[in-house]
Structure 1
Amino acid sequence: MKTYRFYALGLGLLFAIFVVVEYYRPKPIDWNQTFSNKDKIPYGTFVLFDLLPDLFPGQPVTSVRLPVVNQVEDHANLEDSTAKPVNYLFVNATTQVDKLELETLLEFVAAGNHVFLSAHRFSPALQDALGFKADDSKKAKQDSLGLVFTHPSLQKNKPVRYAWEKVSRILTLDSEHKTTVLGQNTAGEANFVQIVFGKGSFFISSVPLAFTNYHVLEPSQTRYAAVALSHLPVRPVWWDEYQKQGAVGSGSPFRVLLNHEALAWAYYLALGSLLLFVLFESKRTQRIIPVIEKPRNTTLEFVRVIGNLYFQTRDHRVIADKKITYFLEYLRLHYHEATTVLDKELQDQIVKKSGVPPVEVADLFRVIQYVRTTDALEEQNLWQLNRQLESFYRQASR
């Protein structure tokens, strides 16, 4: 048995150590390219989104969880009142827009708004409409290239270095719109351009990883994202999260039910019915509560046993003394008389208050005096004392 306990204790200790090690073991780094503003992993955009109020001081920054068409239409409804030109920012691995969304974006920019698009790959329809093409570089041979800006005041800055696989996408321009190359790699290939469209502009970047947490937090690379976004005017900012997280509530498996009132009510009724079933079924099948009997009063049985014990040992003196003590306590409690001296005055008071005939009270007091003074108490004397006491109690309780 001791050996078994020793092995059980050892296994329990090993299990506890395993749990502690697993709990405190560093979690592996998630290198997925989510570009989401809620992710703090290397290729999320939590840091950049947090810095946007500093890059666009005094302007509201909004995380957009609506499709492009809905977001732009909501803004257009305010055109006559509080609507202002905005910067609409997209940072994704791939930017996909359908025909309706493309038309909406073109009208939106033509009205004087700016759209910033950064991705590895762009929708063919978007490339055709704006006259650019995103390709892999064919010039670069080295393992890494630097990113530079073309503005004269920024050319003195040192190139921001990135691994070549991250900057291999370049932009080839063939647009009928006014186009300006804002940034390129050290091989002279464009990767950041501005395409003027109507009253606004599209800002196209083929290096979206430059805007993720990994590069924004890297001291030698952190300035690239800030400088790139500084090409946009200071105005309200929309940050698109619809293409990464979807609409608000879209992650819920019950979104189809909750979007329709009839299905939603059916769902709530089903949940309520299930809850009622559980409550009533649990009461119905619960274990029967046993009936607990009232505790019996065994005082009389105890007294009878003790009395028999004294009587069998023929110790009449002890029984007589206890009966006399109880009688005197009875007189004190019921008639409030001192029982130190059993004289004629006490007898008269007991006769008045109890209603017992004087003869019987006198006989009882005489028997008590006899019991207290005699040396040898016989059984007959004990019986006489008991009869006198019982007679007194019976008459006094009427």
Structure 2
Amino acid sequence: MIINPNIKNYIILFVLFSLVGCNKTNWHENFKEKNKNPFGTYIIYNETEELFNSNEVHYLKENIYDYLFKNEKGADFGNYVCIKPRASKLDEDGLDYLLKDFVQTGNNAFFALNHFSEHIQDSLKFTINNVDKNIYAPEELKILSGKLYLENKDFKNQPFLFDRNIRRSYFETYNKNNTIVLGTIDIDGEKKPNFIKIYYGQGVVYLHTNPVVFTNYNMLNGNEEYVENILSYLPSEGVLWDPQIKSSKFSNKTKEKEDSIFKFFLQHPTLKWFLLVSLFGLLLFMLFNARRKQRAIPVIKPLQNSTIEFAHTIANLYLKEEDHKNLVDKKIAYFLEKIREQYLIDTSNLNSLFIKKLASKSDNEISSTKYLINTIIALNKKTECSDTELIVLNKMIENFFKK
């Protein structure tokens, strides 16, 4: 099967322009059919009709199980194709239905996956060894080059070289009575099967462990011949192309997953009662809350502290009367009271010993402390004081308590 050169050139040009036009190329593997990034599958999907001699290609917008369940003519397509990292939307019921009602009656299924579920492996009797199963980052995948072969006699000695994202994944065991190895991958110098054909009833299942070979990057990197040769094993009939975008609506497994949480609660008596009591409590809360609403609590403003205003008023009265001596005496009395409370020092005798203790406990210099105490002693002896002396005393006391 050869791709039409005109269409091929058009697609190559279109994808190249798309890649060049991007500010930053997305190197993550997404395998989306409408994605033109390196690891989308835009080219292979749009070339499918040419590869299968212009037969109809049906892009599934629902789960394959639901489609086959509702459409008796689904088997007329002949081929089912799934190229993805994993068939995550194909549950156990869906796979069983696909194999028994589609493949077994004479049709073909093609899976190219990085990860095959245990149910697929059990159903088709094979096991996988994926050496690089824990590698996902583009930087790590970039260094995984690979050499692939096809067992057909025309290509047996011709290696197909892939320069990145080739995981070392191969079929470790399989039923040799109904399985044919169609392709291999070089693993440390030894050829291991990575592309096999399994007979199932009257039909065939094709399995490939490296879906990345079908992406835009490899189709534009000189490896389109490898893809053409792989798909040439499928008959030239219609194709059901599965993008794996929908879960099944009819599968029992899907319904079980949806109901699993409630079923888990109902299967255990204690959890069942917890669920019922919680539901009953919620209903009671809604009932009482709907009938009784608590009145809004009024905002009560706290009483204002008028001490400062009172002090200002008293001070203004003294200033108005110009009784500076009275204010000086009260300032001194306030200072000595605070000394007694804060530093626990006796203020009955303002001598040199008192000054040393006060300076030490208040963390002030002895000189400044001595000057303050001498000023207080001098002002105490006066019968009258000026406003200047009052201001100086106030500043000295403020500076003293700032330490």
TM-score normalized by structure 1?
Answer: 0.50
| CA drift at 1:47 | 0.4
1:258-297 superposed matches below 5 A: none
2:237 corresponds to 1:235: yes
1:177-222 deviation per Cα after TM superposition (whole angstroms, max 9, x unaligned): 5101000013310100001100111100000000000001112x12
Contact 2:162 2:218 survives alignment (8 Å): no
| CA drift at 1:246 | 7.1
Q: Distance in 2 between matches of 1:165 and 1:44?
A: 13
Amino acid corresponding to residue 78 of structure 1 in structure 2: K
1:311-334 deviation per Cα after TM superposition (whole angstroms, max 9, x unaligned): xxxxxxxxxxxxxxxxxxxxxxxx
Q: Distance in 2 between matches of 1:115 and 1:72?
A: 13
Q: Distance in 2 between matches of 1:53 and 1:165?
A: 27
The aligned counterpart of 2:114 is: 120
Q: Distance in 2 between matches of 1:56 and 1:133?
A: 30
Q: Distance in 2 between matches of 1:144 and 1:239?
A: 28
2:68 corresponds to 1:67: no
Q: Distance in 2 between matches of 1:100 and 1:246?
A: 12
Q: Distance in 2 between matches of 1:215 and 1:143?
A: 14
Amino acid corresponding to residue 229 of structure 2 in structure 1: V
2:207 corresponds to 1:212: no
Q: What is the percent sequence identity of the aligned residues?
A: 26
1:17-96 superposed matches below 5 A: 26-75=22-71, 77-78=72-73, 84-96=76-88
Q: 1:167/1:159 Cα in 2 relative to 1: closer, same or farther (>3 Å)?
A: farther
The aligned counterpart of 2:294 is: none
Contact 2:146 2:162 survives alignment (8 Å): yes
1:2-34 deviation per Cα after TM superposition (whole angstroms, max 9, x unaligned): xxxxxxxxxxxxxxxxxxxxxx99510011211
The aligned counterpart of 2:96 is: 103
Q: 1:177/1:124 Cα in 2 relative to 1: closer, same or farther (>3 Å)?
A: farther
1:123-145 deviation per Cα after TM superposition (whole angstroms, max 9, x unaligned): 1101011011221249xxx9633
Q: Distance in 2 between matches of 1:225 and 1:48?
A: 9
| CA drift at 1:91 | 0.5
Q: 1:41/1:25 Cα in 2 relative to 1: closer, same or farther (>3 Å)?
A: closer
Contact 1:65 1:246 survives alignment (8 Å): no
Q: Secondary structure at the match of 2:129?
A: strand
Q: Distance in 2 between matches of 1:125 and 1:188?
A: 26
Amino acid corresponding to residue 213 of structure 1 in structure 2: N
| CA drift at 1:72 | 1.5
Q: CA RMSD in A?
A: 2.4
Q: Distance in 2 between matches of 1:133 and 1:164?
A: 24
Q: 1:218/1:244 Cα in 2 relative to 1: closer, same or farther (>3 Å)?
A: farther
1:274-312 deviation per Cα after TM superposition (whole angstroms, max 9, x unaligned): xxxxxxxxxxxxxxxxxxxxxxxxxxxxxxxxxxxxxxx
Amino acid corresponding to residue 134 of structure 1 in structure 2: I
Contact 1:86 1:235 survives alignment (8 Å): yes
1:205-242 deviation per Cα after TM superposition (whole angstroms, max 9, x unaligned): 000000000001112x121111111111111011111x
The aligned counterpart of 2:185 is: 185
The aligned counterpart of 1:319 is: none
Q: Structure 2 regions of 5+ residues with no counterpart?
A: 1-19, 133-142, 249-403
Q: 1:245/1:29 Cα in 2 relative to 1: closer, same or farther (>3 Å)?
A: farther
| CA drift at 1:61 | 1.0
Q: 1:27/1:153 Cα in 2 relative to 1: closer, same or farther (>3 Å)?
A: same
Q: Distance in 2 between matches of 1:38 and 1:26?
A: 16
Q: Distance in 1 between matches of 2:159 and 2:70?
A: 41
The aligned counterpart of 1:226 is: 228
Q: Distance in 1 between matches of 2:226 and 2:21?
A: 34
Q: Distance in 2 between matches of 1:227 and 1:94?
A: 23
Q: Secondary structure at the match of 1:238?
A: strand
Q: Secondary structure at the match of 2:226?
A: helix
TM-score normalized by structure 2?
Answer: 0.50
Q: Distance in 2 between matches of 1:25 and 1:125?
A: 42
Contact 2:63 2:246 survives alignment (8 Å): no
Q: 1:31/1:144 Cα in 2 relative to 1: closer, same or farther (>3 Å)?
A: closer
Amino acid corresponding to residue 232 of structure 1 in structure 2: L
Q: Secondary structure at the match of 1:41?
A: coil
The aligned counterpart of 1:136 is: 130
The aligned counterpart of 1:160 is: 160
Q: Secondary structure at the match of 2:191?
A: coil
Contact 2:61 2:245 survives alignment (8 Å): no
Contact 1:87 1:235 survives alignment (8 Å): yes
| CA drift at 1:245 | 7.1
Q: 1:144/1:25 Cα in 2 relative to 1: closer, same or farther (>3 Å)?
A: closer
* Larger Cα-atom Rg: 1
Amino acid corresponding to residue 95 of structure 2 in structure 1: L
Contact 1:170 1:191 survives alignment (8 Å): yes
Q: Distance in 2 between matches of 1:210 and 1:151?
A: 18
1:357-382 deviation per Cα after TM superposition (whole angstroms, max 9, x unaligned): xxxxxxxxxxxxxxxxxxxxxxxxxx
Q: Distance in 1 between matches of 2:237 and 2:206?
A: 15
Q: Structure 1 regions of 5+ residues with no counterpart?
A: 1-23, 248-398
